[in-house]
Each structure stands twice: as structure tokens, then as C-alpha cells.
Amino acid sequence: MPYLFTSESVSEGHPDKVADQISDALIDHFLAFDPDSKVACETLVTTGQVVLAGEVKTNVYLDVQKIARDVISRIGYNKGEYMFDASSCGVLSAIHDQSADINQGVDRRPQAEDFEARANAQGAGDQGIMFGYATRETENYMPLALDLAHKLLQELSDIRNNEPNLIPYLRPDAKSQVTIEYSDDNTPLRIDTIVVSTQHDDFDTEEAMLAKIKADIINIVIPRVMAKLKPETQQLFNSAITYHINPTGKFVIGGPHGDTGLTGRKIIVDTYGGKGAHGGGAFSGKDPSKVDRSAAYATRHMAKNAVAAGLADEILVQISYAIGVAKPCGLFVNTYGTSKVGLTDGEIAVKLSELFDLRPYAIEQRLKLRKPIYSETAAYGHMGRKNEIVTKEFKATDGNSVKLEVELFTWEKLDYVDKIKSAFGL
């Protein structure tokens, strides 16, 4: 019997995402000047206020208030009427030194600088479980409902930032949701429902507002999104789609003024939209010694390359760690009955663990995670994004600046496909 599955996304102006982006901007600045920085930074945003809290071990001093304001301004909160303005909001920093008790298990560096010694010495920053997932549903090996939910809001953001005259009333805060009908064999059949709620300027009447926003979403945004999709995905759009556009009505009050935002509250938006699984740990605000982040990237890298190699149509990978210990506690693989090789999922897990070094230091080195690459992850998902090389510039409080060429979303590279094919005889 056909079934429905739904995923949601939120824009860069959503209060929780504002908090994520500030936390990750701090991570990037610390790593730009001191790649060995250990950082766990949480952010709270509310009406006219930003609170920064967390633990840092670094040799650089930063103007964290300016970094926060720059992020807020870039997002688009730069008008007093929003009740959250980059130039006037208060920014309180309660960041302090990292606990020596925690650091002793992570930063046990041997005198030798060879790879094996470092990899065996650097333990996981915490205990926990992390998941990676991939599916053939989309070109980027992501679940389709989440991919479409992200694309709707990315298109809205692109219009707001680059073509403001096209839909001139848009404000930064927005949410989307896509429901897809699947067949018994898990094939997408059609889009059942699309939900979009976007913050907007005030209108003269609510009736005119609702009509205008609904018309613009359906007649401008949806066609622009569709034009960027493969023909088979375009065919899922149909005249019977149920649209809920700003279903509560007026949405003028939004962003941190409408709802307090916190780092790490959108972990399902950040990952797979409810498909697969999530270990529970958030990503933003954490340096890569925190396996909540780095191991989640590593398992996505593993799952994506395995699906791309033809090992299975859908794969979930789980890994677990003990704090201060380099070797993972275990690796679990679920192919959901889609495996293309004559091995059990347990046997597949063993062979994959032989191909991918999952010690924390090895993950950091393989995926180049000690670089300032995290601001780009903090909105529209950490997975399924474009792997590319960019140049970024950072300025320190003392006036010094550094310009770095960095590679973004390294865990999305398909650089292990041939190794997997060889190992599994594909």
C-alpha cells in the first residue's frame, strides 16, 4: 500500500539557524588562526540579544561580538523594525577555557609526529553514537523530501538576496515542508503536500497578503525550483498538490524576536530529514575533535561512496565511541535489504571498516576538518552539499588577517568508489 513521508527545512533566518551560523562562524575564525583550537560554542538569540557561551582552548583572541554582528547582518537582520538588528542588538560573551579533565583524553600528543602515533593518541572528544545515510533517490544521494524542502527555501533566499524586486516583501525567517507519496517498493510517485511559511513585510489587509504570497510561491518559486531538477523529479509535481502557504496567516513578527533560537535545535534538518537515523548530537559550534560532528561526516562519506559504488540502493551506517579512546566501539550497517553483494550487513560492516580509518585524528586528516569550513554548513543541511574549493579571508582583533584556500564539504566527495568496488568485487 502506498505511504506518505515528510521532511522539513528552515531558512538561514530561522532563529535556531541564526544561532548555528554564529557558532560556526566562531569555529571558523578560531581554526583560521589556530588550527589546533578546541571549541564548543553555544549561541542563544532572542529579542535584541545574543548570548555566547562555551569552552575554548586556543592561542588566538577574537572579537566575538563583531563576528556575531557580521553574521546577523549577512543573514539580513539589519532593520530596527525586526526587533533584532545586527548594529544594535546586545552581544554577551560567556565563553571560557575548556575543561582540563575533558581535554586530557583528547589532546594526548606523543612526541613523535608520525600519523600512526597521532591517530592512536587522539581519543574521541566524547562518547556517543553517530549515523551516516545515503540513498539513490536523488543525484546527491539524499532523501528526496528533504532535498526539495531545502531547495524551496534556498530559492526564496536567493530571490530575497539577489532579486529583491521580484518578491520585495520577503524577510529572512522561513520554513518549508514536503510530503511525498511512495509506492510499496519505496519509489516516489508524486508530491502530495507542500508547506511554505515565510516571514514578510506588513500588508494593508491579510486577505491581500495571503493571496499575493500564495501566488508568488506557486507561480514564481516552484517553477524556478522545478527548472533545476531532473525530468523524473519534475514529473512528481502535479496539479493535485495540496499547498499550505503561510497557513496561520500573518507572519510579520519572526526571527529571534518571534522565537528564541539556540544552537543545535535543528539536527534533523541538518542531516536526513527523518530518513535513516540520527545519534542525537548537534554539529554546529563544535570543532572536529568532537565526534558528534566529525564521525557523522565520516559515516556520511562512507555511506555515500558505498551507494555510489553500487553496494546497495540505500545504506545506514552507525559508529560509536568512548571518550578519550581512539578506536571506535563498533560499526553497524543496514542496507534495508537492498544489498547487491552476497554478504550479510555485518560482513559488509567489517569490510567497510577495513577501508575507512575511523579514528578521530584519521577522520580529521582525511576530510581536512581542521580548516575553517563550517560556516557554509550551518544552513540548508550539512549533507548533500556541493564539494568545492573556495578562498576565505579572516581578520583577527589585532588587525592581522589570513586568506586561506579551503575545500568545503569534503565528506561529499566520491573518492572511495573505486576502492569499494574493488573490495566488494563490484
Q: Is 55 annotated as a binding residue?
A: yes
Compute the average pLDDT of residues 371-390.
98
Measured CA distances, 253 to 117, 175, 188, 250, 384 (Å): 54, 14, 36, 8, 31
Per-residue confidence (pLDDT) for residue 101, from 0 to 100: 44
d(CA 303, CA 272): 12
**Tens of pLDDT, residues 222-233:** 999 999 999 999
Q: Is 176 a domain residue?
A: yes
DSSP letters for 9-76: EE-TTSHHHHHHHHHHHHHHHHHHH-TT-EEEEEEEEETTEEEEEEEEE-S----HHHHHHHHHHHHT
Q: Mean pLDDT, the chain, as a whole number?
A: 94
Same structural domain, 332 and 210: no
Orientation angle between helical segments 417-424 and 291-308, nearest 10 degrees: 60
Specify if 33 maps to a domain.
Answer: no
Q: Is residue 175 annotated as involved in ligand binding?
A: yes
Q: Known binder of ligand: residue 14?
A: yes
The SS3 call for residue 289 is coil
47-56, 218-227, 301-310, 398-407 — which is least confidently predicted?
398-407
421 is an annotated ligand-binding site residue: no
Flag whether 98 is marked binding: yes
Ligand-binding annotation for 115, yes or no, is no
pLDDT 10s digits, 316-346: 999 999 999 999 999 999 999 999 999 999 9
- Please tell me the total count of domains within the chain: 2
Q: Which residues contact 335 (CB under 8 A, 6 or more apart)?
A: 311, 312, 314, 315, 345, 348
Is 395 known to sit in a ligand binding site?
no
Distance between CA 361 and CA 96 in Å, rounded?
Answer: 25
On whether 386 is known to bind a ligand per the annotation, the reply is no
**Do 308 and 382 share a domain, yes or no?**
yes
Q: By residue range, what is the domain housing residue 187? A: 3-10+143-254
Distance CA 87, CA 339 (A): 54
Does 403 count as an annotated binding residue?
Answer: no
Which tens digits make up the pLDDT trace of 103-127? 455 565 555 578 888 888 898 988 9
Residue 49 annotated in ligand binding: no
Point out the least confidently predicted range of 49-53, 202-206, 257-261: 202-206
Of the candidates 376, 360, 382, the one whose C-alpha atom is nearest the C-alpha of residue 300 is 382
Q: What is the dihedral of CA 227, 231, 236, 242, to 10 degrees?
A: 20
pLDDT tens per residue, range 135-149? 999 999 999 999 999
pLDDT above 70 (res 178): yes
The values of phi and psi at residue 220, to 5°, are -115, -55
292 assigned binding-site residue: no
Residue 309 lies in a domain: yes
Residue in this structure with the C-alpha cell 579533565, named with its chain if needed: 101
Report the CATH number that the domain containing residue 318 is assigned in CATH: 3.30.300.10
Decide: 30 and 58 in contact? Cβ < 8 Å: yes
Query: Known binder of ligand: residue 275?
Result: no
251 marked ligand binding residue: yes
Positive or negative, the CA dihedral 340, 345, 347, 348 is positive
**In a domain? residue 82:** no
| 17 is an annotated ligand-binding site residue | no
266 in a labelled binding site: yes
The pTM for the full model equals 0.95
pLDDT value of residue 108: 55
Q: Contact 302/132 with Cβ under 8 angstroms?
A: yes
Q: What CA–CA distance (Å, rounded) separates 9 from 270? A: 9
pLDDT of residue 51: 98
Considering the domain architecture, whether residues 414 and 293 belong to the same structural domain is answered as yes
- Check the annotation: does 409 bind a ligand: no
Residues 6+ apart with CB under 8 A from 313: 135, 136, 307, 336, 338, 340
- Is residue 92 assigned to a domain? no
Task: Retrieve residue 168's grid coordinates.
Answer: 520585495
pLDDT one-digit tens code per residue, 161-177: 999 999 999 999 999 99
